[in-house]
Structure formats: structure tokens, C-alpha cells
Amino acid sequence: MTSKAMNEGLKRILEQLYEQAPDVEALKEALILLVNNGKLSIDDIKVLDNHYASEALFDPLSFMSFVRLIAEKVDYYAPKNLEVLLRKMYQRDSETVTNATIEMITDDLGKIRFAGRVVWDSLDLGHSSFEPLELSEELQVRFAISIVQDMINPESRAESALRLFGSKSKLVRDTLLCSLTPYAENYLGVIKGKMSVIEDVENDEANLFRQVLAKIDSMFDAKGKCKELHAFSTQYDVYNECRKAESAYMQSSIDEAEAKRGPSIIDLLPKVLLARGGGFRDENGHTRRPTRFSTHGYFPMMYHSNSLMENLTFEQKVMSDWSKVTEPCEIL
């Protein structure tokens, strides 16, 4: 799989993989040199991920070192474009890949921690056999902060974070209480649904967190009953105009994407006209409903309430260099 726009150095590396007995180490060094010299783009990384022979360039440990390198030199979100190779390496040696991911999540550099969380989500390590309580005390503290620091993907991360309430270290439990409370404010329903993982855990910190959840739940109930806090009640005209503008923008985005779309298999499918109510008539004149497809995701509440300054402070914490931090408030 090659592309005219592909970096020529990468193209030569991939072509040489087809040769008999290629010098894999030399090719891997050449690839790393491309990254260090800033000559590998996101598109190149996508090509590398989808090239069926690229797996031969790495063993799981060297691949995870490569993932860290592109996070540092190319883009901290770039590992998202290596999901195929990530899964292949995880199948070959899940322990090595998991350990390397934890090293990234607990790193000093914010961009490396972010990339580690991207790998964690891509491999869904929150539902793997990984046990955070087996980490050292320092790594437990770092993990308790980092895994929820960017307020993303509670379905994959909350359960592993909650398990740390069973840590023997009070420092770990105190740290988790501080880091997990704002996370719970953003994803109360998910956290409540995951609390069964610590139902047998009894200590001051776990019990205090249960009380915190109850207070957050009560606060949301009270706010939900207060119509004055809802724009639909107090500023209906503005609210309605915003909804119309949002709908118009989404439709224009769909139309623009459709106009730019090239030929695809969709063009081969028959088109039907939907009537009011969502039904259509088939070739026999019978009214039928279209097949329903749906998906869902989670979005942190803070994105709707934080000011620009608060968001800036939040991003600074997420991307901070922990080796230069002097106060806990700089990261918690």
C-alpha cells in the first residue's frame, strides 16, 4: 500500500520489506531517523499502520518505543493512527505492551502521558487483566492522577482508577480521592455504575468518596428541579435560535461532506424516500421502517460550564511537565 504523497524515505523502507531477507534493523533505524528529523507526517503513519508488511519491522518492545517517539516528535495524538499495529503487538505480547503503556501514562511529560492514554483507550486496557494495585506506590500515585486527568473516556478508565481505593497506601487513596472527585462531577452516572468494583472496600477514603457521590447526585437533582437554571425556561428565544443555528450548521456540514465525497459503494445502494413518521414503501407497496443504527458516547459536563480561562488552566495541567512541578495544585 503506497501513496504518491508518501514520504520517499518511508516508501523505500516499505518497498525493501518485499526483498528476500531484508535488513530489518537497518530499515527500522532508517524509519526512526525519519521521525527524529521531522519527516514523517500523520498520513505517513497511517500508511505505515495499514501496510501489511510493516509488522516485520518491530517486536512489541521496540514498537512501543517507536510509539513514544512519534508522540514526542510528531504528535501526541498520533498513536491513534497506529491502532492496527498496536493490536497486533498486543496479541504477540500483551504484558510488554501494557507495561510500556503504563510507563507512558505515568511519565513526567504531558504529551507522553496523553499518548499513553490514547494507547490505553485504543486497546481498551480498562477491560483487560491489568491490575493497578500491583504497581509500586509511586506509580499508583502517578496513575491515579494521570488516568483521569484529561476527563475523557470514563467507560474505559473509571474502573481501573476506582480499584486504587483498595491500595495499602493512604497517599495513593488520598490522591485518588482528589483526582476522581472532579471526574465524578463530569461523569456521575458512569462512576455510580462502576462502584461495584469497590463494594467490599472499606476505608476512610472510599467511604468519603461514596459520600461525595451522594452529595453530587443530590446537587444535580436540586439543579434539575430549578427551572431558572435552564435556558429553555429563562431565555427561550435565545435557546431556540441557538438550536436552529446548531441544526443548520450540522446540515451544512453534512451537505459539504456529501459534495466532497468521491464515488463509493453507497452509490450502488437503492435510494428510498422517507415519509413523515420515518417509514417507506418497499417494492411490494408495504410500509416498512428503516433499520435503526445508533451509537453513544460520553462528554464531560465541564465543557459546557468552564470559562475560556478555566479551560486554559485545565489544558496546562494536562500537558504540564511533572519534573518541574513544585505544588500539588499544579497537577490536581
Residue 107 shares a structural domain with residue 167? no
Q: For residue 103, is it within any domain?
A: yes
Residue 289 identity: R
Q: For residue 102, is it within any domain?
A: yes
Residue 169 shares a structural domain with residue 108? no
Give the 3-state secondary structure of residue 287.
strand
Residue 74 shares a structural domain with residue 168? no
Residue 114 shares a structural domain with residue 29? yes
CA atoms of 288 and 281, how far apart (whole Å):
6
Name the nearest CA neighbour of 106 among 94, 115, 97: 115
In this prediction, residue 244 carries a pLDDT of 92
In this prediction, residue 4 carries a pLDDT of 44
Q: Among 55-69, 71-85, 159-173, 298-312, which is the least confidently predicted range? A: 298-312
Last residue of a domain, one of 62, 96, 130: 130
Give the 3-state secondary structure of residue 288.
strand
Determine if residue 285 is left, alpha or beta; phi over 0 gives left, psi from -120 to 50 gives alpha, anything else beta.
left
Span 2-51, pLDDT tens digits = 444 567 888 888 888 777 778 888 989 999 999 999 888 898 999 999 88
Q: For residue 301, is it within any domain?
A: no
Residue 114 shares a structural domain with residue 48? yes
Residue 169 shares a structural domain with residue 67? no
> Domain residues for 83?
21-130
Residue 224 shares a structural domain with residue 323? yes
pTM over 0.75: yes
Residue 221 shares a structural domain with residue 81? no
Span 126-150, pLDDT tens digits = 999 999 999 999 999 999 999 999 9
CA atoms of 22 and 27, how far apart (whole Å):
8
pLDDT band, residue 1 (cuts 50/70/90): very low
Distance of CA 132 to CAs 105, 137, 139, 264, Å?
12, 10, 9, 45
Last residue of a domain, one of 130, 161, 184: 130
Residue 209 shares a structural domain with residue 331? yes
Q: For residue 258, is it within any domain?
A: no
Q: For residue 275, is it within any domain?
A: no
The CA-based angle 297-316-140, given to 5 degrees, is 70
Give buried/exposed letters for 182-203 (b at 16+ CB in 10 A, else e). bbbbbbbebbbebbeebeebee
CA atoms of 13 and 20, how far apart (whole Å):
14
Distance of CA 30 to CAs 16, 49, 68, 211, Å?
12, 17, 17, 56
Q: For residue 35, is it within any domain?
A: yes
Looking at the structure of the chain, the number of domains it has is 2
CA atoms of 52 and 237, how far apart (whole Å):
55
